[in-house]
Structure 1
Amino acid sequence: MKHYYTNDELKRKTYYDLYKICVDERLVEGFKENLNREELTQIILKYRSREKVYSIDTSKDFGLEALQELFDSKLGFKLSTANEIKVPHQIVIYKDMPLTIEDDYKISIPEHLSNNNAFLINGKSYVCGIFQLEPCLDGRNTYLLKGTKEFFRLNNLTNQNYSLIFFNRTDEKFLFESYYKSNLGILLPSSMNYYHVPLDNFLYIDMEKTDTTLCIDFGTANTTAGVYLDRYYVKNLPQHKILNGTLSLDRINYVKFPKGKEEQSNVIPTVVYIKNCFNENDIEFKFGYEVAELLKNNNYSLKGSVFYGIKNWVKTLNENERVVDENGDVRYVPRKVIIKAYIDYIVYRSEALFKCKFKKIHITTPVKLKVEFLRMFQEILPDYSIIADNALDEGVAVLYNSIDKIMLNGKFEQNTQYKALIIDCGGGTTDLASCLFKISSEDIYYDVDIKTTFENSEESFGGNNVTYRIMQYLKIILAQYYINKKDLNINNLIPFANDLIYREVDEKGLKVIYEILDFEYEKAEKIIPTKFKDFENKAADEYGKVKNNFFFLWESAELLKKELFKRTSIVRTRFDNLYHSSEDLSITYINNWILYTLERGEFKTHTSFPNIVITKSEILKLIKADIYEIFRRFLTQYYESNKLFEYSLIKLSGQSCKVNLFNEILKEFVPGKMIDFRRNVEEDEEQLKISCLDGALRYLNSSKMGNIRVSIKNDIPIVPYSLCGTKYTGEEVELIRIGGQAGKNCGFIKKISTTEILPLYLKNKEQELKKNYTYINKPYDYKELDEGEVIKNLNNHFSQETLDDIYNGETKFFIFTDSNFWGFYIAGVKREENQLYMGKSEYFSFEEDITMISFFDGKH
């Protein structure tokens, strides 16, 4: 029996599915070598295309009115259902909220009926709405109802005797063309018979507001959200969702995000796509997995702008981003608009799933940037109450998750002070924080006292760096594979004994370890180009192929990383689009393989999976030095001063810590028993991401129930850098001292008033140059102020005496830190004709500008 397909159906199939259709249907053209996904699709459509599916699934103005006219004039007889159609006993639709497949309203209809739409009418044959039907995986001829508010008109109806009506397949074209008003010249039938099924109970109700707090863990690479739902979170509980198990009371519920047609995930990628920006006040966005799917289906080359790492925009909210949509429209949009759209989507998805309107939101923040993040969320989400007092930062949320379990199990000593060190390696950054906590059991509650201190951070290292290393390795070995050379392996690229790598990093530095790898990666660029920024002046198809190479290799590296570290028994993997594995060999599943090599100036397409096997030991050696360098930077000072052994435990958190190498390297500094990284060996990456969310949810719920009284205090962090300037003699002046407390660490340097540029430089504890700064000093920035105003503007860091020794024609540059911000301020104060003048106060960050750190800018 021949099967026929529509273009939309084929778009949702994998490369292997398309190839299998060609085999099963004996489409000879499909057996040609190196066919890509699009070519296979066109071959199938050429021989097995079926007529368009007439589903009313995109709303059109006045479409319901047009359908009403059709029903008024053409509805025929009610046909007997003979119990062939089964509908839910009750359907509840919430105002302004969609009905989704997660709501799990199932219907069963016989095969001769149209499976595109079901129509909602009342007792007066008034068309109240249109449902779309989604095939249900667990039963033949069973469908799930879904629909958005644009397809319903349910307000102010006096007759609420609702029914669903269905039509034969032969009538679906007329319904479709009438709704979209494309039936001009089409001969309509004299009447359209239909099947009528009354609904026992149909409700259209307002969404209740809840006092329950929605928690969001906004990440660089991925985001999660959840809520603890007790049985009183709303008055009218969504019983249908409770009965079908998609919502649970008196426990944590995670927000589920659609991941393809059949799968859902507790995490969503932090990525945004601009679909339509013609109206800059009503931009159409896509988020997360929708963007990932669009990228795959379009060979990773989309016409609209794609934004990654939007979390890193916290310091530059008001900067404009140039955005382009699918139609080529260009707009300049403030970054905060894009962040707001993403967070709004998370909140909207949460409200749609839990059937309530949230008033309060708790968002975990990086400890170092807590003030900036809370201010950002308060600015972009003015309609919500953002939890600020006693809000948990990311590291403490993870730690509190452990503290809650300690209290639950009673495994603590009363009033004993515990000291923990938290290493949080996320998608884009790694943070180090310390924490003192004490638990006491009172008569009616637990008293938990937590004191946290930010210790250090690396804003240019996270899980994305691990993925990039694997991508580098993939690109090198694939380049060798495609030019039929196989003389490079991991030992050639990193020519150091595996057990001596730590010593080599200590003695020679990180750059030496990866010197050959980086060199070979640049050579591989000539074979498999990925730097699409360099192809912006080339033909569009060439640019698209290079961009495909980067994103395809990036995704392959990410999937390979997850596969190799998913189970402890797996020691090697290869790429394929068939799921099968042995005890030690797994498959890194990819829908279809498409990579372009550059040979003699021409691009060649590769669609066959490469015959290469990659082992876990190769990847471990590849990333070993990178991870060790982070721990070395963070912990050496503590280790050498014996402060490291003052900690009761060291907590590893973050998705990247799925790689056991983090645990092993940490043992180089501390005994294994101090490390708190207990997890099931099969635990997936999602669970590590969710531990932060779990901690925040447990904390909020325990506080709400009155089971605990928590006091959280953020101590002033210690600055791990020194900031230096130079006198006119070349003598170095230390302006900010290493080891000093932020908020108290300050200094100054004096220059003549004609100075226009003040260069400064930052050093780490090894006296290595970390960063250069330049303060631009212009006369027009100065304003006349009295001494009291100057001291106030310098945050009272300096005394009257520091101003008195500024003479006419001199400028003293004051440098001072703020306990709430991870950086420092520079302000010039000069004296002219015995009067004080103060210049601009400019803020500089200790770390690199995180808005500039991106692997997705086309330069890698």
Structure 2
Amino acid sequence: MKGYTYKLNSPKSMEREERNIATYTRDELSEMTTLQLRSICHKEKLVEGLSGSLDREALMRTVLKYRNAEQSLLITSFKHGGHERVEAHLKRYLNTPIRDNGSLKVPARLTLYSGLQVDSRDKYRIEVPSTFTESNVLIVNDHQELCGIAYLIRDAAESGVYYLGVSKEIPFYQTGNKNYSFLFFRKQDSEYIYKSYQQDKPLPPVNLHYCRIPIADLDIRELEETEVVLAIDFGTSNTTAGAFLDSSYISTPSAHDQLNGRIGLGRINYVSFPNMTRKTEEWIEVLPTVVSVADCSDASKIRYHFGYEALKSMKKSGYTGHATVFHGIKRWVNNYKQTEELMDPQGNALSVVRSDILRAYITHVVEMAEHQFKCRFKHLHISSPVKLRTQFSDMFATILPEYDIETEHGLDEGMAVLYNTIADQIEKRSFMDGESYNALVIDCGGGTTDLSSCRFRIEDGHLSYKLDIHTAYENGDTNYGGNNITYRIMQFMKIVFADYYSSRRRVTDIDHLIDIPGTDLYRHVDEYGVSSVYEGFEAAYREAEKLIPTRFKTYENRTREEYLRVRSNFYFLWEIADNMKKEFFRKTGIVRNRFDSDSGNRQENDLKITAVDRWCLSLTDHDVMKDVYDFPNVVFNIKEINQLIKADIYDIVRKFLEDYYQEGKLQDYSIIKLTGQSCTIDVFREALKEFVAGRSIEFRQKTEHPGQVPDLKLACLRGAIRYLNDRKAGIIEASITNDAPIVPYSVVAFTHSRQEKLLISMQERLSHVQGSVSRPFSAVEVEFYLKGGDGEVRHKYVYTSDASSYTPIRYEDIKEAYGTKIPQDDTDSIINGEVKLFVFAEANAWGFHVLPITRRDEQLYRGTKQFFAFENDLSELDFFDGWK
């Protein structure tokens, strides 16, 4: 199976000069535990730090002694009075010019925007001689007036090359004299400038050495507001954003960004985010939906890390830091007003509302878009699941009041994906004019999987294409997505590592853990259920927990060191499992892959090496935890992973399509559209072929930029952008009807004699849902139970009755407000002293309402109506809760 393996092994011996020597700052080390500091000493072979007698501070001094990363003092945050102090020092001490021999090269034109940062992505390239390094750069005019403060960012890939950086907090000033110049300084002079900006106390006199380079053209602008809609695909695991930019989206688009390819006019532009989890920074069109707390010492200025920066901060602390981390914040939609406890790396604690965290994340995405596209957005389109469209719209309208959230013409996730296909048909004219098409959309995202149906017709009208679209939610699983695949791989890794590190040192065989032949696997799932496939696998995983513990929740009553070790185990294994999943399923033709301490030199052309900075697992040995640093010499291959996840994926496909297949409805669908990153897996398509002919499935794994974001991940975002733009341009006139979704749950209550009463039937359209249960008026609490497809109780809801809230009402008023949801026969049968709790749903709300009506002295009274969501947190399965 050459070309289909993934290997973790120890690094080969390399000469010291060929190694990339890691360096550390005191701030980085101060956030690490004693365990992590010892791990660094072991990895870097710092003998002084391997002595067990050294405390945490001594370990930090040892690392800094041999691996100290020199820090540059750069002005990146606003300080009151700093601008004036620097300008005064320039006029007094700027005495000694440094002659430039032509080796210092600066951009010809510089365009700066008030309140917008400049970083390496803007590509203002500067070449400097060895005299200069990362330092502060001042912009002045001929009268020595200070116009702005910038700094140099080192290019890690090319020696002597830097990029201009500007903090969004530092203001720039336009002056009467427009002859602007850069002032470059030596390191010691730059540090003096830094101190003069930061300190309001007098500094000793100094002779500043500088190099003045004229700026050919400096343009300082205000950000212009655009009417373009920024589309955001807010996902459970990852988020993407983009917009269609034409030549008039602002009055003067940035020529610099157009020349550098950062924006393209007349096409869709995707927002790029910096991936800082790797050794070299790269920009990618997807942002992990992860938030960590950076600083909450001041309640009015809470600072967060988002996406890759949050993952990097977790990794830097060895997954054992104090900082609170939130995964899958999309799940909060039904409880976004709930309070969360925050803690930053320094131990500061604070309580905030979830909506504040959601707002901070979305605002960060918008700010990244504004930085890239050099405009101010006020219109947003945020995609949501079809069944929760109303809840998401209400939530975002509440937490983002300054933005115009597109609701009237917004698309849900499934509809956005489908419109991407419709737009392709229109462009290629590959449709029959006026003919109806039926489509199914399967969206397997990071945390959930949804099935939507759509019936659409395209007519080539006199002025535009007329679209008539009917869409509905058909089924879903809130507990299956890409994270489930990562977890399966993590389980397998843990089993393999436990066998490797144990005295047996045996090679784990997937056929031993899942002993059902691949050809019989689907039939076995049909007959015995998916859980039977993984019985032996789960038993082996529980056994592996004894050697490599990851269930850190169960260690909360143990010592702090034990708890942090186990927590570190989980997050470390999760990270490398997720990396391996991405490498195996990134492309159709997968190459071999392995983990190592460095990407280094390799001789095999088909070998992909994923670098792991610090390999460290904590093993339990006779109730004592010890560290292992050696890479396990084991090989994972694609056939094993496919066998591992095959039953899970088939089970989710079977759940969605089996009824359609048995009833012969699948042949009515001319399009079956797959979307979501998880659908790029070949096993997914193989499972679908059990029910659908392969030619009917729209399944594309291509990427617009090879090695970056899969096309399927961007399908939802692209479809939403194309719809908004086509509608704006008058290319289409669309009539979209959202039919009531099908409920994949049942709701029951119990009578006083403990007889179960069905109130909502499974697989019923939400608009048809209604039922009731009676209690005496004196009853204070009434319980309702939500059951899944397996008949097991998922949730218990409690309706609390308040006798003082009842108000008189006539049936005519009830009928006017609720129509047929509360039949007159049901209210006429209510006797004095009885309260009947009516259960009903509405097509635009994913859940059910409970409305109590009672009769007293022959008069009807209405109580308080209460809404209960089907899924409190959208997904009940949390992989980061410490129980995995």
Distance 1:81 1:575, change over 3 A: closer
Shift of 1:625: 1.6
Number of residue pairs matched?
849
Q: Distance in 1 between matches of 2:67 and 2:848?
A: 67
Q: Which has the higher contact order (CA 8 A, sep 6+)?
A: 2
Q: Which amino acid aligns with 1:805?
A: S
Q: Which amino acid aligns with 1:454?
A: Y
Q: 1:455 aligns with which of 474, 479, 485?
A: 474
Contact 2:291 2:304 in 1 (8 A): yes
| Deviating more after overlay: 773-782 vs 806-815 | 773-782
Q: Which whole-Å deviations, capped at 9, do the CAs of 1:767-815 have from their partners, x for residues lacking one?
A: 7335353434535364132124555565651133321111112221211
Q: 2:551 aligns with which of 512, 524, 531?
A: 531
Is 1:133 paired with 2:152?
yes
Q: Which whole-Å deviations, capped at 9, do the CAs of 1:675-717 have from their partners, x for residues lacking one?
A: 1113339775543211111111111122222222222211122
Contact 2:701 2:710 in 1 (8 A): no
Q: Distance in 1 between matches of 2:97 and 2:827?
A: 93
Name the residue aligned to 1:15: none
Contact 1:574 1:587 in 2 (8 A): yes
| Deviating more after overlay: 228-237 vs 534-543 | 534-543
Q: How does 1:273-292 map to 2 (within 5 A)?
A: 273-292=292-311
Contact 2:390 2:845 in 1 (8 A): yes
Name the residue aligned to 2:313: 294
Name the residue aligned to 1:247: 263
Q: Which amino acid aligns with 1:630?
A: I
Is 1:749 paired with 2:769?
no
Is 1:643 paired with 2:655?
no
Shift of 1:82: 3.4
Provide structure 2 residue ranges, at least 5 long, that are not aligned to the other structure: 1-15, 30-36
Name the residue aligned to 1:540: 560
Contact 1:781 1:840 in 2 (8 A): no
Distance 1:4 1:595, change over 3 A: closer
| Deviating more after overlay: 215-224 vs 379-388 | 379-388
Q: Distance in 2 between matches of 1:435 and 1:692?
A: 15
Matched residue SS, 1:278: coil
Q: Which whole-Å deviations, capped at 9, do the CAs of 1:20-60 have from their partners, x for residues lacking one?
A: x9999997779999x9x999996664246476534444544
Matched residue SS, 2:713: helix
Q: 2:838 aligns with which of 788, 799, 814?
A: 814
Contact 2:224 2:375 in 1 (8 A): yes
Q: 1:502 aligns with which of 522, 525, 549?
A: 522
Q: How does 1:307-346 map to 2 (within 5 A)?
A: 307-346=326-365
Distance 1:583 1:491, change over 3 A: farther
Q: Which amino acid aligns with 1:7?
A: Y
Is 1:799 paired with 2:823?
yes
Name the residue aligned to 2:435: 416
Q: How does 1:134-173 map to 2 (within 5 A)?
A: 134-136=153-155, 139-154=158-173, 157-173=175-191
Distance 1:314 1:23, change over 3 A: closer
| Deviating more after overlay: 418-427 vs 683-692 | 683-692
Is 1:511 paired with 2:527?
no
| Deviating more after overlay: 283-292 vs 784-793 | 784-793
Matched residue SS, 2:458: strand
Contact 2:618 2:625 in 1 (8 A): yes
Q: Distance in 1 between matches of 2:427 and 2:119?
A: 37
Contact 2:597 2:613 in 1 (8 A): yes
Is 1:355 paired with 2:374?
yes
Q: Which amino acid aligns with 2:458?
A: I
Q: Distance in 2 between matches of 1:667 and 1:24?
A: 49
Is 1:858 paired with 2:882?
yes
Q: Which amino acid aligns with 2:341?
A: R
Shift of 1:201: 1.4
Matched residue SS, 1:107: strand
Is 1:613 paired with 2:629?
no
Name the residue aligned to 2:218: 202
Name the residue aligned to 2:696: 674
Q: Which whole-Å deviations, capped at 9, do the CAs of 1:520-540 have from their partners, x for residues lacking one?
A: 222222211112222233333
Distance 1:851 1:431, change over 3 A: closer
Q: Which whole-Å deviations, capped at 9, do the CAs of 1:526-560 have from their partners, x for residues lacking one?
A: 21111222223333332222111111111111111
Name the residue aligned to 1:692: 716
Q: Which whole-Å deviations, capped at 9, do the CAs of 1:376-398 have from their partners, x for residues lacking one?
A: 11111111111111211111111
Q: TM-score normalized by structure 1?
A: 0.92
Matched residue SS, 2:768: coil
Q: Which whole-Å deviations, capped at 9, do the CAs of 1:411-445 have from their partners, x for residues lacking one?
A: 11111111000010000111110011111222342
Shift of 1:844: 2.6
Matched residue SS, 2:765: coil
Distance 1:131 1:220, change over 3 A: same
Name the residue aligned to 1:475: 494
Contact 1:775 1:826 in 2 (8 A): no
Q: Distance in 2 between matches of 1:683 and 1:176?
A: 41
Name the residue aligned to 1:574: 594
Q: Distance in 2 between matches of 1:311 and 1:581?
A: 44
Q: Distance in 2 between matches of 1:459 and 1:377?
A: 21
Shift of 1:473: 1.2
Q: How does 1:765-784 map to 2 (within 5 A)?
A: 768-771=791-794, 773-780=796-803, 782-784=805-807
Name the residue aligned to 2:32: none
Distance 1:615 1:826, change over 3 A: same
Contact 1:447 1:708 in 2 (8 A): yes
Provide structure 1 residue ranges, at least 5 long, that are not aligned to the other structure: 13-17
Q: Distance in 2 between matches of 1:848 and 1:150?
A: 39
Distance 1:53 1:796, change over 3 A: same
Contact 1:88 1:105 in 2 (8 A): yes
Name the residue aligned to 2:33: none
Shift of 1:837: 3.0
Q: 2:866 aligns with which of 842, 854, 860?
A: 842
Name the residue aligned to 1:436: 455
Q: 1:659 aligns with which of 681, 699, 703?
A: 681
Is 1:708 paired with 2:727?
no
Q: TM-score normalized by structure 2?
A: 0.89
Contact 1:570 1:586 in 2 (8 A): no
Q: Distance in 1 between matches of 2:26 and 2:797?
A: 57
Name the residue aligned to 1:833: 857
| Deviating more after overlay: 264-273 vs 563-572 | 563-572
Contact 2:447 2:480 in 1 (8 A): yes
Contact 1:451 1:713 in 2 (8 A): yes
Matched residue SS, 2:433: coil
Contact 1:422 1:432 in 2 (8 A): yes
Q: Distance in 1 between matches of 2:343 and 2:669?
A: 51
Distance 1:624 1:713, change over 3 A: same
Name the residue aligned to 1:562: 582
Shift of 1:337: 0.6
Q: Distance in 1 between matches of 2:521 and 2:67?
A: 58
Distance 1:339 1:364, change over 3 A: same
RMSD of aligned residue pairs (Cα, Å): 3.2
Is 1:227 paired with 2:243?
yes
Matched residue SS, 1:613: strand
Matched residue SS, 2:583: helix
Identical counterparts, % of pairs: 39
Shift of 1:650: 0.8
